[in-house]
Amino acid sequence: MSGVLFPDAIAHKARNRSGTMARLKEMAFAGRFFLALVVAPTAAAGVYYAAIASDQYESSVDFIVRRAETGATTNGFGQLLGFSLGSTASSSEAYLVQQYLLSHDAVARLRKEDDLVGVFQREGTDPISRLWFSDPAPERLLKFYRKQVAIAQDDTSGISHMTVHTFRPEDSYRIATKLLQMGEQQINRINLRTYNDQVSSSQRELDEANRQLIDIQTQLTAYRREHEDIDPADSGKAQISLVTGLTANLVAARAKLQAMAGVVPPSSPQYQAMNHQIQALSAQVAAQSAKIAGPNHSVAARLSDYEQLVIKREQVAKVYATAAVQYENAKAEARRKQLYLVRIDEPNMPVKSEFPKRFTTVLTVFAALFVAYAIGWLLWAGVREHSL
């Protein structure tokens, strides 16, 4: 009859159940190592990532470090921005910026100014993901920081990609923005150091030449005041012109006197007047000639000292002009070597948590454990086979 259980049927079902349980126990015992080494850790990872692991939010930004001078060749994106993205020199400076942003100095500054320890210990964060110590050593904080902040550079384009992971969206955005600012400040420090190294030597040479030029000009001014003569060279020329004119008049007077000697007696008033004129002109020529080339305070003596000062001034002026050109060239070269951190995009404010990758991580754990178990099982099987 339908719905009626007979004693034989009940006993048969009981035997089936006991047989199934026995087979399950046998399978579990046979696969105990697989369950312990693969299934159990995977299940634990699944529970952790599904129910315990805290959400992490990523803020990312792209930037590039370039020089003011452009390269000979640029790719399409570099032409769009107006500079070469593949410059080797810029790449080296970009690595300097990356190393700085992942250094003890950057972590110490973030710890002081942005409460970095508090960012990694937000309330509600699971104990495995968070920073474990409220006052960690700098080395421990740096190690945790480098797990949360990553910077990678594309060697082809030169673009650096920075990502920041924290447990709150606003923290990720704030830290990414601050790191970008710190990178720009580091570039400015490099520029200042490069500029000073490039220009300081030329600046010192220019200052020394300027000091010498001012010194010689001061000597010339003192010389002019002492001798009450603005330009001894022009004064000497005027004095020579005066002596030349007086000498010409003296020669003419003597010629006229000689012409009169055969006609007019020496005792005549006309002859005497001409003779007196010749004597006066001779005295003037002698007096003016003494002013030009006399032993004491003559134009020749003053002119010699003055010309030495003028020659020295011209030499110093040439040195100053050369130093000024070198200084301008050094400044132009330093400007051409200036570095700039160009933001390709701005840090984003994350809205959705994309980390940790829960399913992907659990699947990776299972695959890794399964491969490791399979290799171990094959090795163990090989050892047993050779032992037999």
Same domain, 95 and 222: no
CA dist., res. 202 & res. 337, Å (int): 16
* Closest C-alpha to 351, from 105, 55, 120: 55
Alpha-carbon gap, residue 301 to 9, rounded angstroms: 148
In this structure, the number of other CB atoms found within 10 A of the CB of residue 64 comes to 24
- Is there a domain that residue 94 lies in? yes
CATH number of the domain at 159, please: 3.30.1890
Look at the chain and report how many structural domains it folds into: 3
Range of the domain at 382: 7-51+372-387
151 in the same domain as 60: yes
Measured between its terminal Cα atoms, the distance across the chain in Å is 59
Residues 20 and 79 in one domain: no
Residue with the larger pLDDT of the pair 383 and 179: 179
pLDDT bin (cut points 50, 70, 90) of residue 17 is low
Over residues 245-266, the mean pLDDT reads: 73
The rounded distance, in Å, linking the Cα atoms of 336 and 332 is 6
Residues 140 and 217 grouped into a single domain: no
Do 33 and 61 share a domain, yes or no? Answer: no
Domain co-membership, 69 together with 138: yes
Shared domain for 228 and 82, answered yes or no, is: no
Q: Left (φ > 0), alpha (ψ -120 to 50) or beta: where does 297 sit?
A: left
Q: What is the mean pLDDT of residues 235-257?
A: 69
- Regarding whether 119 and 265 lie in a shared domain, the answer is no
Whether 1 shows a pLDDT value over 50: the answer reads: no
Residue 251 lies in a domain: yes
Report the pLDDT value the prediction gives residue 74, as an integer from 0 to 100: 46
Tell me what the pLDDT averaged over the chain comes to: 79
Q: 137: Cβ–Cβ under 8 A, 6 or more apart, which residues?
A: none
- Is 365 inside any structural domain? no
Whether 367 is covered by a domain: the verdict is no
Same domain, 47 and 69: no
266 in any annotated domain: yes
Question: Are residues 230 and 107 part of one domain?
Answer: no
Q: Could you tell me which residue, 196 or 288, shows the higher pLDDT?
A: 196
pLDDT at 51: 81
The reply to whether 291 and 353 lie within a common domain is no
| One domain for residues 251 and 189 | no
Residue 364: inside a domain, yes or no?
no
